Amino acid sequence: MRFSVLDWFKDEKGKLTSKKINDVVIPCDTVILAIGQENSFPWVERDIGLEFDQWEVPVVDSVTYESTIQGVFFGGDAAFGPQNIIEAVEHGHQAAISIHKYCEKESLTDRLEYGMNLITAKMGIHEWSYSNDYGYENRFEVPTVPMNERFKDINIEVELGFEPGQFQEEVERCLNCDIQTDFAANLCIECDACIDICPVNCLMITDNDDEDNLRKKIKTPADNLEQDLFVSEDLPQTGRVMLKDEDVCIHCGLCAERCPTAAWDMKKFTLKVPYALDEANAIDVNATKKAV
Amino acid sequence: MSYIKKPKIIRDNESRNKLGMTVTDYEGVMSTLCAGCGHDSITGAIIQTVFDLNIEPHRLIKLSGIGCSSKTPAYFASQSHGFNSVHGRMPSVATGAHSANSELFCIGVSGDGDTLSIGMGQFTHAIRRNLNMLYVIENNGVYGLTKGQFSASADVGSTAKKGAANLQIPIDPCQVAISIGATFVARSFSGDKEQLVPLLKAGMMHRGFAMLDVISPCVTFNDHEGSTKSYLSTRETKREALYTDYVEPFTVIEVDYDQGSSIEVDLHEGGKVILRKAEKEFSPLNKSDSIRMIRESADAGEMLTGLLYIDENQPDFTEVENTVRKPLNEVPFDDLCPGSKSLAALQKNYK
Amino acid sequence: MSKPGHNNFTVKFANVNGTGSSSANGMFMRSIFRMGIPVVGKNYFPSNIQGLPTWYEIRVSDKGYLAPSGTVHIMIAMNAQTYAEDLASVEPGGYLVYDSSWPRKELMTRDDVTVLGVPLAKMCNEKFDTARSRTLMKNTAYVGVLAALLDMDVSVIEQLLLDTFGAKKHLIEANKTALDMGYDYALENFKCPLSFRAKSSNKTDGHIIIDGNATAALGCIFAGATVGSWYPITPSTSLMDAFSGYCQSLRKDKETGKNNYSIIQAEDELAAIGMALGAGWNGARSFTPTSGPGISLMGEFLGFGYYSEIPTVVFDVQRTGPSTGMPTRTQQCDIMACAYASHGDTKHVCLYPANPEEAFYLSTEAFNLAEQLQTPVFVLSDLDIGMNDWMIKDLEWEDGYVPNRGKVLGKEELDNMENFYRYLDVDGDGIPYRTIPGRHPKGAYFTRGSGHNKLGGYTEDAAEYQDVVDRLLIKWETAKSLVPQPEVSYSKKNKMGIISIGSCNDAIREARDVMKKNGQSLNYLRVKAFPFSDKIEKFISQHEKVFVIEQNRDGQLHNMLITETDADSRKLESLRFYNGIPIFSKDIVKQIEDSINSGKAA
């Protein structure tokens, strides 16, 4: 298999361009192409009004997935070049919405927005509707069939999966990204309970200041500058602010457990993606959010 | 579930003290107090204090009486010996323990009921002996564990949760302590660690009885409107008499202190306190000044906080008693038992 | 023993409190002792510093009986207020000496008592300058009178003066003058000596005269106790005074001259026991002396010490109750209060010395037991033992003695230990291991009086709680094998026995001798410790009748024998003496003989 090693750079127009440096040949028995490489359209006439870009793929609107011919939609690799299947599915959904709207003679750009929903995960004083235990284990390697066994039969599944115990521990390692710490500044009485209990020292109440200074005021400084620092509105009793370094939060929920006024809460985040059927039923996904 | 224990997570950039220990190493078991209890904040401040002072946990003993406050020694320094004694009697246990080994750091945690009612006698006598210990009163004005009766520190007019007002005059531990000869008296607030932690440090390093009255709101029974010991009310009435900085031994002081408005006091057990004066002229080295200031503030509806009185020149209990400095519990038996010859000799007096 | 004889008589001094009589009375007693004659002194003093009547009774006993005789052969009646009462208490044929400086009414005489008037005040007023010395020397002068009447060896008294006053020459002189004054007056005016005298002997060799509070304090010194906390209360105060005194000479650090001990005068008994527990917890041998009211106050902490398993030693020098009672009178009325001190299921190891000699040995033993068993241990003395001067054998000490500190984990053991659990019964004897604060990072544990499990953690779990309180019962069984065994005097021939406790011992010894002479021998068991030894149950089973003799109204020992042993309670007859005065042997004899004669006894 011959690979070309490329150097990528931006040209004068700021466009990302590549220049070949050399070729590398890697000897292989079999080569399997797992991406939609075969997306050239020599069979589409160039005079029917469909515009093609420099890569010889159709020009497609990134919102409506409509080509330059009204009523013709593209998605997946055919639309924007090689991408992964998850995005291709999304393209399909969006194209379906456009097709529906096209058929109904509605504006293709007047679409329902993405929505989200936050619902408290609190069940009781100490109980949450998610597993808030912290898993100390390192990541487990998924057990696999030994190399020499794999080739005996084409139908052999290589990954064996976890044993039940390993599976549980592996799941416990999940940092519950879908569980958000949600802070209502107006409820806070500044008792410090959350700060004292936080196992990763990621909270602090302090006078508002420049971001650089604020980052230092957290017990263990918030030194990952790529992660935004959470700064609350002014707190009612002293006018100070609550800081949170999301970078290290493990979503254990102890801040919310120890909060006497429920200023801190652990909330489950749900992304609401509108589908063609929603458009058809004219459901506003944000309506649910507002109701919360 | 996390309510059984707190996850122990040590981050790479976690700060470590001179013993290589992290703050987490000085924690205890999970608190079973109500969420938002001021006592838990004081626990947090004590943890910070012993961490910052680089105290070997096994060289610290922590004692208490009975009540919400007295549960807290279990919540910090789990590698230290703890003693949860009987109601109002912690000072006597501390006195005995101190006599057996005066080299250990000693923290006593008490409450307003445990100190000012059932324990008033032992509290005052521990002061009288100038016992070398840090005595923290977690003062919330109510009996929490028995569900909200007024304590002896409740202010006149402060209301209970159901509305009844307290009519009896409060006992102010600071005024009591200063008047009977305490050598270190301070007041602070659980919700103000910037003030509390340096005071705790200074109290630990003071040789003699260091009393720290910490207003510590009871979120369940005394944090309502009408209470004078709620978070809000304490913040509204609290006034800092002096800003206290604790400076570790052998530290170069980088901040410029104005000589005229700051006072430096060297502490016997190490380090020093630097007291920066607030708006009014006030010296915490003068008993009469201190008591007058406290009273004037109280009359003005304010609560004076900070290091209110300090005297580093008084001998502590061990010095007054002329006891050997090395721990009595380590004196070899041969030095304690006079032996048969002495016994025979002294019996001549009984012939 | 109503008839006096040579070296067998009782002299009683009736004085006014605060007149300094005790030193003169002591001088008389010690002189008799130095003449080689066994002697004992009993002080019946008021709860008062000055002005109220006080008596001192000195029994001279050739056989060395140390209980009061209950009879008076010579009364030194120096208190006009009690003169009539004092005169009435003299045995027929006895003598009364009084201060005749001012004549007493004729009414106050008895035909069967020889009344000897000595103008003590008059002589002293003429001889001495100050009011204080006149008062004091009157006392010395009546010792002179006694010396003549009893034909005492005056050189012994003179030597005693030298030993007592040492360099204070003027005191030696004054006392000598007063002594001679009384002596000469008696020789000139009375028929001396009397029919009974003090004749030099050698029966006090190897003995000392001392009170039990002093010996208990010595026990603390020799056991290596370093922390003593207390609140002054009669009759235990002199225990700490004695300890403090011994410490001055025996407990100074050689290099620094500082104290190798800490004596803390507490604000009350609640604090005193708290301090003792705090020190015991922190690895010092600690103790607190008190009396009944103090035990009541200490109740809460004593239960704490039992449940959280902290060693310390409590001396209860018992006095009469209930309530304040008579603070200067003796009783054995705290037997149950100490055994079961505090609320909840508590019981305590108690030791019962019989006299000052045993107070010393049981005192040292108490410290060992407290640390072996990790619990407060009581030494129940009483006012009679603690504050009266007893003649006892010289105290002895073995220099190889090593204190038993019990199961305390050292550095190496903790180093090699994965985890230390304070209340785990590793050895099956109910005694867990403990650590001393400040010594090892692995040794930390939490001490609490609230529910805890065997690992030392807080608990409200039914099974975990019960596990620990049940284990304390295993420890109680272990205690049974460690505490001192009862003292038994047994002969197969005797069908009846006596069980008693503490300071009843000497009256019982004398009573048994008397009854034996009368043809009625009884066996004897003296309880020395609680928990009770199995020997007690065995002793009861060996007899048809057992008299339980003790000094309280309610028969506390008797009750405990019934509840704490499986012995047949119908065999036990309770004999109780509780008027505040130490038991007289004659009263014991009378009660036992009455019981036998009335057919109550088998």
What pLDDT is stored for residue B325 in this prediction?
A: 87
Choose the final residue of a domain: C205, C233, C262.
Answer: C205
C283: nearest CB among B101, B103, B347: B101
Task: Name residues 25-54 of chain C within 8 A of B (Cβ).
Answer: 33-34
Mutation target among A172, A202, A219, A258 for the B interface, most CBs of B within 10 A:
A258
One domain, residues C589 and C558: yes
How far, in Å, CA of C449 to CA of C447, rounded? 7
Determine whether the interchain pair B336/C282 forms a contact, defined as Cβ–Cβ distance below 8 Å: no
Write out the two tokens for B58. Answer: 């096994």
Strand C496-501: give its sheet, edge to edge: C487-489, C523-527, C496-501, C545-550, C572-576
Per CATH, the number for A119-135+176-271 is 3.30.70
Identify all chain B residues contacting C251, using CB atoms and an 8 Å cutoff: 336
For the cut 60, the answer to whether the pLDDT of residue B218 exceeds it is: yes
How many H-runs (helices) and E-runs (strands) does chain C carry?
19, 21
Residues 68-97 of B with CB under 8 A from C: 73-74, 78-86, 89, 91-97
- Contact residues on chain B for C271, CB-CB shorter than 8 A: 89, 91-92, 95, 121-122, 125
> Which residue carries 């002596």 as its tokens?
C183
> What is the model's pLDDT at position B1?
47
User: Per the CB < 8 Å rule, is B231 touching A238?
Assistant: no
pLDDT in tens, C567-598: 999 999 999 999 999 999 999 999 999 999 98
Q: Is C398 within the bounds of a domain? A: no
What count of residues does chain C have?
A: 602
Tell me: pLDDT of C473 over 70. yes
ipTM of the shown complex: 0.96
Q: With an 8 Å CB cutoff and a minimum of 3 pairs, decide whether chains C and B touch.
A: yes
* C246 has a chain B CB within 8 A of its CB: yes
C142 touches chain B (CB under 8 A): no
> Distance (Å, rounded) from C-alpha A24 to C-alpha B28?
60
Quote the CA–CA distance of B231 and B234 in Å, as a whole number: 5
CA distance C57 to C41: 6
Q: Does C460 contact B at CB distance below 8 Å?
A: no
Strand partners, A272: A115
How far off is chain A from B187, nearest CA to CA, in Å?
Answer: 17
* Residue ranges making up the domain that contains C53: 8-205
CA distance B48 to chain A (A): 10
Q: Contact at 8 Å (CB) between C491 and C539?
A: no
**Better-scored residue on pLDDT, B249 or B314:** B314
Q: How far is A129 from chain B (nearest CA, A)?
A: 12
Chains that touch B (3 or more CB pairs under 8 A): A, C
> Of C365, C393, C421, which marks where a domain is finished?
C393
Interface of B with C in 27-56 (CB under 8 A): 56
Verify whether the Cβ–Cβ distance B36 to A191 is below 8 Å.
yes
Contacts of B121 (CB under 8 A, 6+ apart): B88, C267, C268, C270, C271
Nearest CA in chain B to C400: B339
* β-bridge pairing C262-265 and C227-230: parallel
Does the beta-carbon distance from B13 to A195 stay under 8 Å?
Answer: no
pLDDT at residue A283 is higher than 70: no
Half-sphere exposure of B133 (CA within 13 A, CB side): 33
Report the distance separating Cα A284 and Cα C362, nearest Å.
Answer: 90
Tell me whether residue C246 is in a domain: yes
**Total number of domains constituting chain C:** 4
Judged by DSSP in three states, A121 sits in coil
Nearest to B99 among C208, C222, C262 (CB): C262
Which residues on B lie below 8 Å from A188 (Cβ)? none
In angstroms, what is the C-alpha Rg of chain B?
A: 21
Q: Is C415 on the interface with B (CB under 8 A)?
A: no
**B162 interfacial to chain A (CB closer than 8 Å):** no
pLDDT mean over C177-200: 96
- Contacting residues for C463 by C-beta, under 8 A, at least 6 apart: none
Residue B78, C-beta contacts closer than 8 angstroms, at least 6 positions apart: B27, B28, B29, B57, C444
First-last CA distance in chain B:
74
> B6 or C251: which carries more pLDDT confidence?
C251
The answer on pLDDT for A291 being more than 50 is no
The one-letter amino acid code at A125 reads I
| Domain ranges across chain B | 23-330
What confidence score (pLDDT) does residue A91 get? 93
CA distance to partner chain A, nearest, from residue B14 (Å) = 6
Q: Do C441 and B79 touch (CB under 8 A)?
A: yes
C320 and chain B in contact, CB less than 8 A: no
What is the percent of chain B where pLDDT is above 70? Answer: 96
Decide if A260 contacts A191 (C-beta within 8 A). yes
Q: Do C256 and B81 touch (CB under 8 A)?
A: no
Given this model, what pLDDT does residue A287 score?
52
Task: Name the residue among B1, B7, B44 with its Cβ closest to that of A192.
Answer: B44
Quote the percentage of chain B above a pLDDT of 90.
Answer: 83
**Domain of residue C50, CATH code:** 3.40.920.10
- Which chain B residues touch A259 with a CB distance below 8 Å? 35-36
Region of C568 please: left (phi>0), alpha (psi -120 to 50) or beta.
Answer: beta
The reply to whether B296 touches chain C by the CB within 8 Å rule is no
How far is Cα B228 from Cα C42, in angstroms, rounded to an integer?
63
Whether B98 sits inside 8 A of C278 (CB atoms) is yes
Q: Which residues lie closer than 8 Å to A34 by C-beta, 6 or more apart? A: none
Residue C146 token pair: 């006694």
Which residues in chain B are contacts of C415 at CB distance < 8 A? none
Other C-beta atoms lying within 10 Å of the C-beta of residue A144: 13
Residue from the list B85, B125, B350 with its beta carbon closest to the beta carbon of C267: B125
Q: Name beta bridge partners: B61.
A: B81, B106
Taking the CA of residue A227 and the nearest CA in chain B, the distance in Å comes to 16
Residue of B92, B109, B317 to mutate, testing the C interface (most C Cβ within 10 Å of its Cβ): B92
Distance between start and end Cα atoms, chain C: 28
Does the domain at B23-330 match CATH 3.40.50.150? Answer given as no
Residue of B58, B100, B343 with shortest CB distance to C443: B58
Residue C534 belongs to some domain of the structure: yes
List the single residue in B with minimal CA-CA distance to A193: B36
- Span B294-342, pLDDT tens digits: 999 999 999 999 999 999 999 999 999 999 989 999 999 999 999 999 9
The verdict on C370 and C281 lying in the same domain is yes
Contact assignment for B219 to A191 by CB distance below 8 Å: yes
Contact C226/B58, CB-based, under 8 Å? no
Please name which of C173, C174, C185, C175 lies closest in space to residue C145, comparing C-alpha atoms.
C185
Report whether the peptide linkage leading into residue B173 is cis, meaning its omega lies within 30 degrees of zero. no
Residue A37 pLDDT exceeds 90: no
Q: Is C374 part of a structural domain of the chain?
A: yes
Select the residue of B24, B43, B232 nearest A237 (Cβ to Cβ): B232
Write down which chains contact chain A via at least 3 CB pairs under 8 A. B
Q: Verify whether the Cβ–Cβ distance A196 to B38 is below 8 Å.
A: no
Facing A238 at nearest CB: one of B35, B41, B235: B235
- A35 pLDDT band, cuts 50/70/90, is low
Tell whether B324 is within 8 A of chain C (Cβ).
yes
CB contact (8 A) between residue B2 and residue A223? no
Q: What distance in Å separates residue A199's CA from the closest CA in chain B?
A: 6
Residues in B touching C254 (Cβ below 8 Å): 335
pLDDT band at C108 (very low <50, low <70, confident <90, very high): confident
CATH of the domain at C495: 3.40.50.920
Q: CB-based contact (8 Å) between B132 and chain A? A: no
Give the pLDDT confidence of A181-209 residue by residue, as tens digits: 999 999 999 999 999 999 999 999 999 99
* Per-residue pLDDT tens over the stretch A129-149: 998 888 888 888 899 999 888
Handedness of CA C223, C226, C229, C235 (dihedral sign): positive
Q: Where are the domains of chain A?
A: 119-135+176-271, 138-172
For residue C406, tell me if it sits in a domain.
no
Band of the pLDDT at A290, cuts 50, 70, 90? Answer: very low
Geometric angle at alpha carbon B282, from B280 and B283, rounded to 5°:
160
Which of A190, A199, A238 lies closest to B9 in CB terms? Answer: A199
What percent of chain C clears pLDDT 70, i.e. is strictly above it? 99
Q: Do B97 and C281 touch (CB under 8 A)?
A: yes
User: In whole angstroms, what separates CA C316 from the centre of its chain?
Assistant: 10
